[in-house]
Amino acid sequence: GQSLEQPSEVTAVEGAIVQINCTYQTSGFYGLSWYQQHDGGAPTFLSYNALDGLEETGRFSSFLSRSDSYGYLLLQELQMKDSASYFCAVYTGNQFYFGTGTSLTVIP
Amino acid sequence: GAVVSQHPSRVICKSGTSVKIECRSLDFQATTMFWYRQFPKKSLMLMATSNEGSKATYEQGVEKDKFLINHASLTLSTLTVTSAHPEDSSFYICSARDHGRLHHGYTFGSGTRLTVV
């Protein structure tokens, strides 16, 4: 089976940095993705890591350690619009399986 | 960029009736599409993988006779919730991958909120 764990809720101050962790146990692993979902909306793609290390895309960075079955999403210079749910997702080569999701609240 | 259109966005139906949800890839061909279900404040649960021209592959615990999937063309997959009951009320989302993109990111439809009364 597939298991992806994330913290359920995180609160951070506008302008700060926040890290959302993801640990996974899956049968088959090609890479780890991160998606953002605002209330009532569709998930939108943020990043994909196939290899160990840090990938940076603007204010968002994503890290993967395959040996530790662990990754994280780093959000810098937080803005109010970053308040949303964030999901990690493992790509098995055929499908994506999603984590439990982290609700991020950015406060002034 | 890759666009996936999902229709309808909201539907309310009576218990016992069937509802069809469409998922279209607008600017690319998708041999494979995926159907997810999401409960409020919960994660996306993969229901099935829809394959063009062949039978869908269902995840464990998903009733294939309840959730009928048809992928008749390279740009259209449909999910039909048959004999809907209130417990089928949920947010259903489809996704597809444009193989021309490099990042393995799948594009999602806007979702369908189904309410069974």
| B32-61 pLDDT tens trace | 899 999 988 888 999 999 988 888 999 999
Beta carbons of B106 and A96 less than 8 Å apart: yes
Alpha helix positions (H), chain B: none
Cis bond leading into A108, ω under 30°? no
Half-sphere exposure (Cβ direction) of A24: Cα atoms closer than 13 Å: 33
Q: What is the pLDDT of residues A14-72, one digit of tens each?
A: 999 999 999 999 888 999 999 999 988 888 889 999 999 999 989 999 999 999 999 99
Beta carbons of A95 and B34 less than 8 Å apart: yes
Q: Which residue in the set A95, A99, A103 is minimally distant from B46, CB to CB?
A: A95
Q: What is the pLDDT of residues B64-73, one digit of tens each?
A: 999 999 998 8
Ramachandran quadrant class, A50 (left: phi over 0; alpha: psi -120 to 50; beta: rest):
alpha
Q: Which residue in the set A42, A91, A97 is minimally distant from B104, CB to CB?
A: A91
Chain position carrying tokens 């799948």: B106
pLDDT at B98 over 80: no
pLDDT at B103 over 60: no
Query: In B, which residues are within 8 Å of A41 by CB distance?
Result: 110-111
DSSP run (H or E) holding B10: strand B10-13
How confident is the model over B90-114, as a mean pLDDT? 83
Determine the 3-state secondary structure of A81 from DSSP: helix
CA A66 to CA A71: how far, in whole Å? 8
Query: In B, which residues are within 8 Å of A30 by CB distance?
Result: 104
Q: What is the pLDDT of residues B1-40, one digit of tens each?
A: 678 999 999 999 999 999 999 999 998 888 889 999 998 8
> How does residue B101 score in pLDDT terms, banded at 50, 70 and 90?
low
Beta carbons of A99 and B45 less than 8 Å apart: no
Q: In this predicted structure, what is the pLDDT of residue B22?
A: 97
pLDDT at B105 over 80: no
* pLDDT, chain B, mean: 90
When scoring B10, B106, B112, B113 by the number of chain A Cβ atoms within 10 A, the one with the most, hence best to mutate, is B106
pLDDT at A108 over 90: yes
